[in-house]
């Protein structure tokens, strides 16, 4: 499996985070980056995160690059809005899945596409296997693909539409850490990319492998602070044990 997420801060920009573990059965576990970036500085910046069948996602990314090289119409550098970019990616993904499906086999993939074109707003979109897509709202300033449930509670508690990029980055890393702690199919290296609104460039990228000191420090700090917070919770009062037995 996979866990990728993107967070939008209306005021500040975008945060992208992805793990790197892929597996086809538990005895075939590999490491692949699931984060791709496409940028024409000063004009447009895109980040793509992928989850699902690796052959499909690699096929889609290869096709995006080929379309750019061949100046195909449309391609990621010719589309004029983020929605058009999401439509384009959805079409590629759906076509790639169809190509190898004989009716029964399913090679589904999901993507998150985020970025900004010129003076338009920065946006993130989640592209479903069918090719259709959704974006964020004021109440839901993030999107997830893959093993999304373990890391959702912390996002729901921390994120607001105006969270700073620094806070959103930490929330993403903590969400990723909780997921890795509870699910072996999500694992390092972890990649993190920040996009500053209106910068139209992508130069804030970090990659944390399993031995990364900061990631270890973050993980143990969070674990300690959680335990401490937990120990300070209001105790539950119990009435004196009643004489009546429980239902039978």
Q: List residues binding a copy of itself (CB under 8 A).
A: 36-41, 68, 147, 149-154, 156-158, 166-167, 169-171, 173-174, 178-179, 181-183, 192-194, 201-206, 214, 217-218, 221-223, 225-230, 232-238, 241-248
**CB of 241: closest distance to a copy of itself in angstroms?**
4
Which CB atom, from 25 or from 235, has the smaller least distance to a copy of itself?
Answer: 235
Q: Which two tokens stand for residue 48?
A: 């793509």
Least spacing, CB of residue 144 vs a copy of itself, in Å: 11
CB neighbours of 53 closer than 8 A, spacing ≥ 6? 97, 107, 108, 109
Order the strands of the 190-196 sheet from edge to edge. Answer: 142-146, 3-9, 13-18, 190-196, 204-208
Cα Rg, the chain, nearest whole Å: 21
Of 104 and 242, CB closest to a copy of itself: 242
Inter-residue contact 115 to 85 (CB < 8 Å): yes
Rounded to a whole number of angstroms, the minimum distance from the CB of residue 202 to a copy of itself is 4
Residue 186 Cβ vs a copy of itself, minimum distance, rounded to whole Å? 12
The C-alpha atoms of residue 133 and residue 112 are separated, in whole angstroms, by 9
Comparison of 197 and 204: residue with beta carbon closer to a copy of itself: 204
CA distance 13 to 16: 10
For a copy of itself, the closer CB: 181 or 197? 181
């Amino acid at each position: 499996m996979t866990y990728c997420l993107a967070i939008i801060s209306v005021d500040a920009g975008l945060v992208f985070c992805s793990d790197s573990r892929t597996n086809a059965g538990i005895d075939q576990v590999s490491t692949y980056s699931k984060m791709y970036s496409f940028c024409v500085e000063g004009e447009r910046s895109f980040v793509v995160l992928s989850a699902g069948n690796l052959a499909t996602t690699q096929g889609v990314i290869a096709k995006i690059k080929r379309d750019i090289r061949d100046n195909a119409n449309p391609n990621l550098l010719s589309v004029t809005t983020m929605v058009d970019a999401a439509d384009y990616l959805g079409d590629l993904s759906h076509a790639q899945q169809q190509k190898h499906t004989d009716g029964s086999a399913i090679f589904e993939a999901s993507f998150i596409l985020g970025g900004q074109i010129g003076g338009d707003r920065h946006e993130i979109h989640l592209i479903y296997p069918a090719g259709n897509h959704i974006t964020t709202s004021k109440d839901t300033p993030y999107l997830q693909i893959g093993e999304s449930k373990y890391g959702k509670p912390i996002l729901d508690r921390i994120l607001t539409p105006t969270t700073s990029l620094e806070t959103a980055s930490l929330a993403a890393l903590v969400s990723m850490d909780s997921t890795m702690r509870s699910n072996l199919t999500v694992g390092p290296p972890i990649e993190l990319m920040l996009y500053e609104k209106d910068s139209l460039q992508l130069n804030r990228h970090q990659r944390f492998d399993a031995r990364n000191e900061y990631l270890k420090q973050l993980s143990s700090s969070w674990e300690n602070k959680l335990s401490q917070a937990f120990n300070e919770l209001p105790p539950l009062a119990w009435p004196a044990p009643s004489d009546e037995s429980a239902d039978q």
